[in-house]
Structure 1
Amino acid sequence: MIARAYLGVILTVLIWGGNVVALKVLLDFFTRSQTIGLRLGAASLVLLGLTLLRSGWPKWSVRDWLWVVGAGLLGTTLFQNFSVIGVDRSPAGISGLANAVVPILVVLLGSLVGQRPNRLQVLGVLVSLSGMLWLLAQTLEPGSTLNLLGLGFLGLSSLTWAGYTLANRPLVARLGLLPSVTFATLVGTLPLLIPVLPTLGQLSAPPLIWGLAALSGLLSNVFAYLAWGNGIQVLGAARTSIWQNLSPLVAFGLAVWLLGERFTPGELSAGALTLMGVLVANWPQRAGQSGLNDAG
């Protein structure tokens, strides 16, 4: 069980890193709305099928459904919009950092609702925020590939996902991982998919690109969600979240290799400082100390 959980977490990190590059490729063939709709439409159908086969239609209270709707709008509708716009306006190698800084934002948001961070988390937050500010400053440097608006949308995507993470923890504990993820994703996908449906018949792309769109949605929004959730349950949040630091490294490596992206020394240093802060904040704590993602 432990070995399978580790395998799922490692594959998830590879998927999330590679998905940034996949989005850059898809955006060359589809609009932002079409890219989101195609990916999440496929993911939602598969998740719904899995849930209905396993447990049937949930018998939740009105209050539970309202929580699920709110989580879906935050963690799917807003997050996907912000994320795709940010990736479209930013290099893939930098876009991968958006996923990595989510734990930093979870600490900051958690402190607002009474979840007190430990010293390592505070240090990690300060280091990571310094890196983010340095990264923003790089947009003013001549020859920089960074775009201030793109970084802003990546920041918003990280913020919405951090908020979803905090809100979703008690929801998963009460309603179960698969049903809560399924219906939150489905509810959040509908506002993104419905406007795109009339345009699907007009789309023209190679079969490989259609396959990439479906694979991107299924791997990053079905397998990865469930494998990551299982990792947290089996391994614990602290040991699972430490692997999240590899995701931007995978994205960076693939962006340089497959897309030919190049970065200035300042951009690389700022990204490395940001990632170092995340690593410090995520470092597993001794028994009795709270981990970054242990709350809820």
Structure 2
Amino acid sequence: MILRAYVGVILTVLIWGGNVVAVKVLLRFFSQGETIGLRLGVGAAVLLVLALLNGGWPRWNARDWLMVAGAGVLGTVLFQSFFVAGIQRSPAGISGLANAVVPIAVVLLGGLVGQKPSRPQVAGVLVSLSGMLWLFWQTLEPGSALSPLGLGFLGLAALSWAAYTLANRPLVARLGLLPFVAFATLIGALPLTLSALPGLTRVQAPWWAWGLAALSGLLANVFAYLAWANGARVLGAARTSIWQNLAPLLAFALAVGLLGERFTLGEIGAAALTLLGVLVANWPQATAAQS
């Protein structure tokens, strides 16, 4: 069970890192809305089938459905819209940071709702915020591939997913992981997928681009989420979250190797400082390592 959890977490990190590059490639053939709608449509359909096969249609009350719908807006509509908009306006190598800084955003939002952060978390937040401010400063450098708007969208994506994370914890405990994820994703994906359908019927894209979109939705929105949640359950949140730092490193390497992206020393230094803060904030503590 432990080995399977580790394998799932490592595969998830590989998927998240590669997914940023995949979305960047898809945006060459599909619009922002079409990319979101196609990927989410595939993921939501598979999750729905899995949920129905596992336990049938959930018997939730109106309040539960309303809360699941709200989570779907946060984790699907807002996150996906901001994330893809950020990738469209930013290099893929930098876009991967959006996933990495989610734990920082969770600490910040958690403090607003009374969750007291630990000293390492406070230190990590300060270091990461310094790195992000440095990264924004790099947008003013001549020839920089970064844009304030793109980084802003990536920041909003991180905040949206952090809010979703905080909101879904009690819902997952009460409603179950698979039903909650499936129906929250479905509710959020429906308007995005339906609005993208007219454009998708007119897209002239190669067959492999359609396949890449389907694979991206299946791996990043179905397998990765469930495998990550299983890792947190078996290994503990602390030991699982530490692996999240590898995703942006992989995205950076793939962006340089496959897309030919190049970065200045200042951009690399700012990104490294941001990741260092995430590492500090999520480093397993002696009391939490066995959680």
For the residue of structure 2 that corresponds to 1:53, the secondary structure is helix
Instruction: Give the superposition deviation at 1:81.
Output: 0.4
Displaced runs of 4 or more, over 2 A: none
Partner deviation per Cα, 1:158-177 (whole Å, 9 max, x = no partner): 00000000001111111111
Partner deviation per Cα, 1:181-221 (whole Å, 9 max, x = no partner): 00000000011111111222211111111100000000000
Instruction: Give the superposition deviation at 1:290.
Output: 9.5
Counterpart of 1:224 in structure 2 is: 224
Counterpart of 1:191 in structure 2 is: 191
For the residue of structure 1 that corresponds to 2:195, the secondary structure is coil
Mapped pair 1:257 → 2:232: no
Counterpart of 1:23 in structure 2 is: 23
Counterpart of 1:141 in structure 2 is: 141
Aligned equivalents of 1:26, 1:71: Cα separation in 2: 26
Contact 2:22–2:216 under 8 Å retained in 1: yes
Counterpart of 2:6 in structure 1 is: 6
The one-letter code matched in structure 1 to 2:232 is I
Aligned equivalents of 2:250, 2:174: Cα separation in 1: 34
Counterpart of 2:113 in structure 1 is: 113
Counterpart of 1:130 in structure 2 is: 130
Contact 2:69–2:187 under 8 Å retained in 1: yes
The one-letter code matched in structure 2 to 1:209 is A
Counterpart of 1:61 in structure 2 is: 61
Q: Can you give the 5+ residue segments of structure 1 that lack an aligned partner in the other structure? A: none
Aligned equivalents of 2:200, 2:23: Cα separation in 1: 18
Name whichever of 20-29 and 197-206 sits farther off.
197-206
The one-letter code matched in structure 1 to 2:6 is Y
Counterpart of 1:240 in structure 2 is: 240
The one-letter code matched in structure 2 to 1:187 is I
Q: Can you give the 5+ residue segments of structure 2 that lack an aligned partner in the other structure? A: none
Partner deviation per Cα, 1:43-84 (whole Å, 9 max, x = no partner): 111000011111000001111111100000010001100000
Counterpart of 1:208 in structure 2 is: 208
Counterpart of 1:270 in structure 2 is: 270
The one-letter code matched in structure 2 to 1:87 is I
For the residue of structure 2 that corresponds to 1:196, the secondary structure is helix
After superposition, where does 1:146-165 map in structure 2 within 5 Å?
146-165=146-165
For the residue of structure 1 that corresponds to 2:29, the secondary structure is coil
Instruction: Give the superposition deviation at 1:143.
Output: 1.6
Aligned equivalents of 2:67, 2:240: Cα separation in 1: 26
Contact 2:9–2:227 under 8 Å retained in 1: yes
TM-score by length of 1: 0.97
Aligned equivalents of 2:122, 2:8: Cα separation in 1: 29
Aligned equivalents of 2:178, 2:204: Cα separation in 1: 34
Root mean square deviation of aligned Cα: 1.1
Aligned equivalents of 2:266, 2:282: Cα separation in 1: 24
- Percent identity among equivalent residues? 73
Aligned equivalents of 2:154, 2:191: Cα separation in 1: 21
Contact 2:121–2:280 under 8 Å retained in 1: yes
TM-score by length of 2: 0.98
Contact 1:118–1:290 under 8 Å retained in 2: no
Contact 1:124–1:281 under 8 Å retained in 2: yes
Partner deviation per Cα, 1:13-49 (whole Å, 9 max, x = no partner): 0000000000010000000000001100011110000
